[in-house]
Structure 1
Amino acid sequence: MYKFMLSSVIVLFIYSILVIKYGGKRVMTFISSLSFIAILLDLLLNGLITRFSVFSHDPAIGARYFGIGNELMGVFLATTTLCTGMLYKKYYNRIIPILFLGISVILVAHPRFGANVGGTIAILSATIYFILEMVEKRLSFKYGIISILIVLVAIGIMGYVDIRLNPSPTHLGSSLILLRERGSIIIKNIVHRKLSMNLALLRTSIWSKVLLISIFSQVAAVCRRRDSINGLLDGRMGKGILSSIVGCIIGFLFNDSGVMLAAIAMNLLTIFILFQTLDAEGAHGQ
């Protein structure tokens, strides 16, 4: 606890200096990029970095023993989509964002790295929405069905790889094996468990309050700074923000602790939007 408090104070001190010197907008860009790189490296290094984080694995309470948990997945979802938006804004190249998001999806989905099914559905949904926005296609019924099929195929591939490559399959591989042996009752049990967990967390967890505050803050920002927010969302950076919101919604719906994923991602997204808007208005005022 002492080390955590000390490191938090040091980080806040460094952050304050950076904000004073460079301004909130550039600092938020730097923090988003740094967070994304750190989590990406952590996935490749099998949790070598996050073992020192409060968002890491917690075998003591059975939270997670491997891969990326929903808490860290919330951070990764937000930083990935925001960094993708920043890259698209800077380079205006469609290939770079697609590669960027594709690598992120693979690392979250792969049973040897992220092994997070709900996180995969969330970040893949965000990726699909980003691509639709990038090619200027609206999310119609047709594209909705195509998106669902893509997600199902991705989960199927992920499960196949898990069963074939892992001597001890993750919960996805184990669930597919049980589904083959016991039938559709397994799907019913999974859906019931996820709904029960989410409802319990909504009633008792602080993350539900964090999520509501983030949503309220974004609504308030839109009401008070409508032109600035619209300008941000209509630009190339806005595609990353909107895809992040889509990922939050899907992550909330398809995770047994989706409220944590959505709350953390929305919180980071809200901070980013506020800094971008206020910094832009400050520059305009000067």
Structure 2
Amino acid sequence: HPDPQGYLLQREREMAAVYRLRSPLIKGFIAIIIILVGLSLAAFFFKWRNLSLLKLLLLMVVATPLALLVLGAIPGSLWLLPAWVALTLGVALALRRLEPVKAMVLLGAVTALLIVVDALLGAWLQQRSILGYDATAGPRYYGIGNEYMGALLGSSLLGLSCLLEKNKWLAGVVLTGIVLVLMLPGVGANFGGALAALVGYTIALTGFSLVTNKKYRLPAVLVFAAAVLVLVLVNLGGNQSHVGRFFTAVAADPREFWQVVQRKLSMNWRLIRWSLWSKAFAALFAAALWVFFSQRRVMAQRFGLFWPQVRGALAAALAALALNDSGIVAAATTLLFMTLPLLYYWFSSSSSARDSHSL
């Protein structure tokens, strides 16, 4: 860098600003998610007639990970909060002009694309986003953090939801590329995220036949084992990330594996007990199951079969929960891109039904 001291001082100011703003703003965002899910369910039980505001809010919340990544360009700015509201509102107003499925697919695709591009360019935006990782607190310093790992899993499945029905091979190629982005030490450096993606994407592409059909079980296990082996080998070579160093340590002393597993489980359990993300996950998970099982026929008739995206997102969220030390965070951000679109589709179908009756 031509001015290393100036650069370091600037980064220190940026990290301090992220540290200062991250907690109150993210807690507020989580509270909004929970309240919005509650209002959405209330709208059903009490048969609210005017759903336009709820639909707009759903679009704004789903657009938030994208907006906060873009706003990493102005870390710590006093304009961050109004810019966040203005950007998500602008996106929501533009998208509500489109058909519901097209709006959500476009939003998911753009979000996933920006996360991938940012990771390939060194995660410059994510390092400065309040939804990214906080270097001052120290959970991560490079790659794709668990917040945006979950957002990437959910948004990619949402963005490819139509392609998952029409062209599984092309969808598989795109999803394989995302797994590579997550696992490469110089890019995503998120081993747990790569495994969660592998699980979720496989379920999205193949369904549960891998589990229910005996003839597919052994090939599936072998393919999964081969994929894990590739992940390990990739992280052992070249400039090692924390993942590569972990495998090196395990090779030297196998007991290190169980120590790390125990430590990660302890961290995950602590976050599940005390983090607001666990409340968001519970609300999103319960609402998704309720909407899907109670309204699936209505929405399938109106919007087509989106079951591959739903089953993939559910599998990815649960895998992220199990395979990461802060998995509850990744699981919640994954479900953000499944549950809220489901609610949006449901409200859109309800509005269309009322409009047709009024005619």
Counterpart residue type for residue 295 of structure 2: R
Partner of 1:97: 171
Q: Determine which of 142, 162, 177 is the counterpart of 1:86.
A: 162
Q: Does 1:156 align with 2:229?
A: yes
Deviation at 1:19, TM superposition (A): 4.8
Distance 1:126 1:62, change over 3 A: same
- Count of equivalent residues: 278
- Name structure 2 gaps, 5 residues minimum: 1-75
**For 2:90 and 2:303, how far apart are their aligned partners in 1?**
30
Q: Does 1:49 align with 2:128?
A: no
Identical aligned pairs, as a percentage? 22
Deviation at 1:207, TM superposition (A): 0.4
Listed as ranges, the matches of 1:113-262 within 5 Å are: 113-133=187-207, 137-140=209-212, 142=214, 143-144=216-217, 146-166=219-239, 169-183=240-254, 185-222=255-292, 224-228=294-298, 235=305, 237-262=306-331
Q: Determine which of 24, 30, 49 is the counterpart of 2:106.
A: 30
Counterpart residue type for residue 137 of structure 1: S
Q: Does 1:276 align with 2:345?
A: yes
Partner of 2:56: none
Counterpart residue type for residue 326 of structure 2: S
Distance 1:27 1:130, change over 3 A: closer
Deviation at 1:41, TM superposition (A): 0.7
**For 1:232 and 1:261, how far apart are their aligned partners in 2?**
30
**For 1:97 and 1:110, how far apart are their aligned partners in 2?**
20
Q: Does 1:109 align with 2:183?
A: yes
Q: For the aligned residues, what is the CA RMSD?
A: 2.4
**For 1:58 and 1:264, how far apart are their aligned partners in 2?**
17
CA contact (8 A) 1:233 1:241 kept: no
Counterpart residue type for residue 132 of structure 1: T
**For 1:48 and 1:123, how far apart are their aligned partners in 2?**
23
Counterpart residue type for residue 192 of structure 1: Q
Deviation at 1:229, TM superposition (A): 5.0
Counterpart residue type for residue 94 of structure 1: K
**For 2:84 and 2:228, how far apart are their aligned partners in 1?**
37
Deviation at 1:65, TM superposition (A): 0.9
**For 2:302 and 2:331, how far apart are their aligned partners in 1?**
21
Distance 1:147 1:171, change over 3 A: farther
Deviation at 1:66, TM superposition (A): 1.0
**For 1:182 and 1:232, how far apart are their aligned partners in 2?**
56
CA contact (8 A) 1:68 1:115 kept: yes
**For 2:304 and 2:152, how far apart are their aligned partners in 1?**
23
Partner of 2:85: 9
Partner of 1:70: 146
Deviation at 1:224, TM superposition (A): 4.4
CA contact (8 A) 1:87 1:97 kept: yes
CA contact (8 A) 2:299 2:346 kept: yes
Per chain length, whose mean CA-contact separation is higher, i.e. which structure has more relative contact order (CA < 8 Å, sep 6+)? 1
**For 1:47 and 1:101, how far apart are their aligned partners in 2?**
19
Deviation at 1:267, TM superposition (A): 2.1
Distance 1:116 1:151, change over 3 A: farther
Counterpart residue type for residue 116 of structure 1: N
Partner of 1:59: 135
Tell me, what secondary structure is at the counterpart of 1:85?
coil
Distance 1:231 1:120, change over 3 A: farther
Distance 1:141 1:196, change over 3 A: farther
The range that moved more, 197-206 or 214-223, is 214-223
Deviation at 1:269, TM superposition (A): 1.0
Distance 1:242 1:229, change over 3 A: farther
**For 1:79 and 1:36, how far apart are their aligned partners in 2?**
5
Counterpart residue type for residue 37 of structure 1: L
**For 1:269 and 1:176, how far apart are their aligned partners in 2?**
33
CA deviations 1:190-233 (Å, max 9, x no partner) are 21011101110011100000011112212332454242356589
The range that moved more, 170-179 or 69-78, is 170-179
**For 2:219 and 2:301, how far apart are their aligned partners in 1?**
30
Distance 1:244 1:232, change over 3 A: farther
Higher-Rg structure is 2
Counterpart residue type for residue 155 of structure 1: V
Q: Determine which of 245, 259, 265 is the counterpart of 2:334.
A: 265
**For 1:233 and 1:174, how far apart are their aligned partners in 2?**
47
